Amino acid sequence: MSRDPQQEVKSEGKWLTTFNDLVTLLLTFFVLTLSLSNMDVAKVREASLSMSAALGKLKEGSGDEFRIFEPFVAPMGRVGLSLERQKQELAEELRTAGDFDVRVMDGGVMVTVDEKLFFESGGADIGSAGRSTLDALADRLRDSEACIRVAGHTDDVPIQTDRFPSNWELSVARATGVVRYLADRGGIAPERLSASGYADSRPRIPESDAEARAANRRVEIIITLPG
């Protein structure tokens, strides 16, 4: 009995159905894997388009050669290098904002401002020079996604006034004053800001001479970059 040629073609093409199911499952696994990882969006889109083109050719039954996608692997340390580059660029930019110390640290950048630039001795009201400095810093930080923590520090000379019974209250008042200014006048989102006071518990220089005390009276602005 003769065999129908069209029947043979249909029979020989049945494997494509199983193969299509397999590719679909692989694509689902691929998408789930990507959704749980931090991959390059442009490359993911490119791979997705390649996969779509491949599936289109399978459905058409084309026998032409094609590439489903080109595998890619994010280089080791790429995220770390990117963060390092961001920190260095931010540090360079902040150094142009005023006369203070800028240091790159784990996760971000720390700006250290001496007391004399912001406050009168024993006070927590920000002077005109301090306001100008904070305006310059705010201009460079307003549109970023960085978290900003302000830490107040004093020297080891005790203070006891009606407003500040100890150096703890003074250091906290200075930090919160800077935070309020950055939020109210600098236009930085409040949820990105926090304040803390350490009194003389974290000296910059452990000695207690006049030079060391002057260095220890400071405000630190710690800028943590998202990473």
Looking at per-residue confidence, does 62 or 143 come out higher? 143
> How many whole angstroms from its chain centre is CA 163?
37
Q: What is the mean pLDDT of residues 164-185?
A: 97
Strands 218-224 and 108-114, bridge-based pairing? antiparallel
Mean pLDDT of 90-94: 93
Q: Where are the domains of the chain?
A: 5-60, 78-224
Lowest mean pLDDT among 49-63, 88-102, 158-172, 194-208: 49-63
pLDDT number for residue 63: 47
Sign of the Cα torsion 221, 222, 226, 227 reads: positive
Mean pLDDT score of the chain, rounded to an integer? 81
Confidence label for 98 from pLDDT (cuts 50, 70 and 90) = confident
Is it true that domain 78-224 has CATH number 3.30.1330.60? yes
Cβ-based neighbours of 9, under 8 Å, separated by 6 or more? none
Token reading at 157: 């000379």
Q: CA-to-CA distance for 181 and 190, rounded, in angstroms?
A: 10
pLDDT tens for each residue of 197-212 = 999 999 999 988 999 9
pLDDT in tens, 27-66: 777 777 766 665 555 555 666 566 555 555 444 554 444 3
Mean pLDDT of 86-101: 90
Give the per-residue pLDDT at 12: 60
